């Protein structure tokens, strides 16, 4: 076996003793050199052990206990020859019970192992579906929160709207909504695609201090785009500006100025 076992249930079948010949040898050879599959085999053995403990008790056939007791008494009371014969008979009787027990439990163990494999597969699928649903729910919650914040910005008397004017040679248009108390900026932009590995970046320029990034976007095609961004609360801007920066944005403006909007304080 050059790679990992083709089926996860092979580990359970090996732990159950259902694999023989080349298949058994292949598993043993592979897990000896593969720590990952060694762990899977250990987990399979644990599952089978739990299944054996969970198997319902089965009562032995009537008379088994009486037969064992009679043979034990026969060994104690007989002669040496009879004792030897009694020991042989006792060994036969002692061997009968494990053989019967194994024969009775084998079908139950096989059925339980198959049921465990089926349940393991079903559980893995349900776990994957649950993760997908949780991710979708988280995305919906984020979208709902953004919608609430957007509505709050529109309704707030503290929200200001400014229109950015494009620099010559840049066919772009943008509108910015800003709320200093909320510390939020919302920008609507209509722009062409930026050059390869470049992006547009919006800046809030305060009266005192360095420009603050208010969002980076890299449109995949020409058109209109909107986004919201958090900025420090309580900062009154002196102007907004948009520059062309390396993809991912920069901590401070480095590229050419594309649009600006001065604000009267």
- Number of neighbours of residue 155 by Cβ within 10 angstroms: 8
Q: Determine contact, residues 196/218, Cβ cutoff 8 Å.
A: no
In a domain, 55, yes or no: yes
Contact yes or no for 241/253 (Cβ under 8 A): yes
Alpha helices in the chain (DSSP H): 9-16, 21-33, 35-54, 64-77, 80-155
Digit-coded pLDDT (tens) for 81-93? 444 444 444 444 4
Strand ranges across the sheet with 212-217: 212-217, 198-206, 237-246, 257-262, 160-166, 173-179, 184-191, 223-230
**Domain for residue 189, yes or no?**
yes
Q: Are residues 20 and 108 in the same domain?
A: yes
Distance (Å, rounded) from C-alpha 173 to C-alpha 76? Answer: 108
The whole-angstrom separation of Cα 76 and Cα 72 is 7
Indicate the angle between helix axes 21-33 and 35-54, nearest 10 degrees.
120
The verdict on 117 and 164 lying in the same domain is no
Domain boundary (112, 129, 146) is at 129
Residue 63 belongs to a domain: yes
pLDDT of 108 above 70: no
Tens digit of pLDDT for each residue in 136-162?
777 777 777 777 877 887 788 889 999
pLDDT digits (tens, 9 = 90+) for 37-61: 888 888 878 777 666 555 555 555 6
Instruction: Name the domain count of the chain.
Output: 2
As a whole number of angstroms, the distance between CA 15 and CA 44 comes to 6
Same domain for 113 and 168, yes or no, is no
**Is residue 136 domain-resident?**
no
pLDDT tier for residue 97 given thresholds of 50, 70 and 90: very low
Give the model's confidence band at 179: pLDDT under 50 very low, under 70 low, under 90 confident, else very high: very high
Q: Which 8-state DSSP code applies to residue 156?
A: -
Q: Which of 129, 150, 169 is the last residue of a domain?
A: 129
Cβ atoms of residues 1 and 33 within 8 Å: no
Are both 125 and 175 inside the same structural domain?
A: no
CATH code of 252's domain? 2.60.40
User: What's the CA gap between 131 and 123, in Å, rounded?
Assistant: 12
Does residue 58 belong to any structural domain of this protein?
yes
**Tens of pLDDT, residues 182-202:** 999 999 999 999 999 999 999
Cα separation, 120 vs 237, whole angstroms: 59
**How is residue 252 written in tokens?**
């401070």
* Structural domain boundaries enclosing 70: 9-129
Asked if 121 and 55 sit in the same domain, the reply is yes
């Amino acid at each position: 076996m050059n790679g990992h076992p083709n089926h996860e249930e092979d580990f359970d079948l090996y732990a159950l003793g259902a694999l023989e010949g080349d298949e058994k040898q292949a598993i043993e050879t592979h897990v000896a050199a593969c720590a990952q599959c060694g762990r899977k085999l250990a987990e399979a053995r644990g599952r089978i052990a739990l299944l054996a403990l969970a198997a319902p008790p089965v009562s032995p056939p009537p008379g088994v206990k009486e037969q064992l007791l009679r043979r034990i008494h026969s060994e104690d009371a007989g002669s040496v020859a009879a004792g030897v014969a009694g020991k042989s008979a006792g060994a036969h009787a002692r061997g009968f019970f494990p053989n019967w027990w194994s024969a009775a439990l084998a079908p139950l163990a096989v059925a339980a192992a198959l049921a465990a494999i089926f349940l393991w597969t079903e559980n893995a699928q349900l776990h994957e579906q649950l993760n997908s649903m949780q991710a979708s729910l988280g995305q919906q919650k984020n979208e709902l929160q953004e919608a609430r914040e957007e509505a709050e910005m529109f309704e707030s008397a503290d929200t200001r709207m400014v229109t950015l004017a494009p620099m010559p040679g840049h066919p772009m248009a943008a509108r910015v909504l800003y709320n200093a108390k909320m510390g939020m900026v919302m920008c609507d932009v209509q722009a062409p695609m930026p050059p390869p590995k470049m992006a547009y970046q919006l800046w809030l320029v305060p009266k005192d201090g360095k420009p603050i990034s208010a969002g980076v976007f890299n449109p995949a095609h020409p058109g209109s785009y909107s986004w919201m961004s958090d900025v420090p609360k309580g900062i009154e801007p002196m102007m907004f500006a948009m520059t062309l920066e390396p993809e991912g944005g920069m901590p401070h403006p480095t590229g050419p100025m594309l649009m600006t909007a001065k604000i009267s304080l």
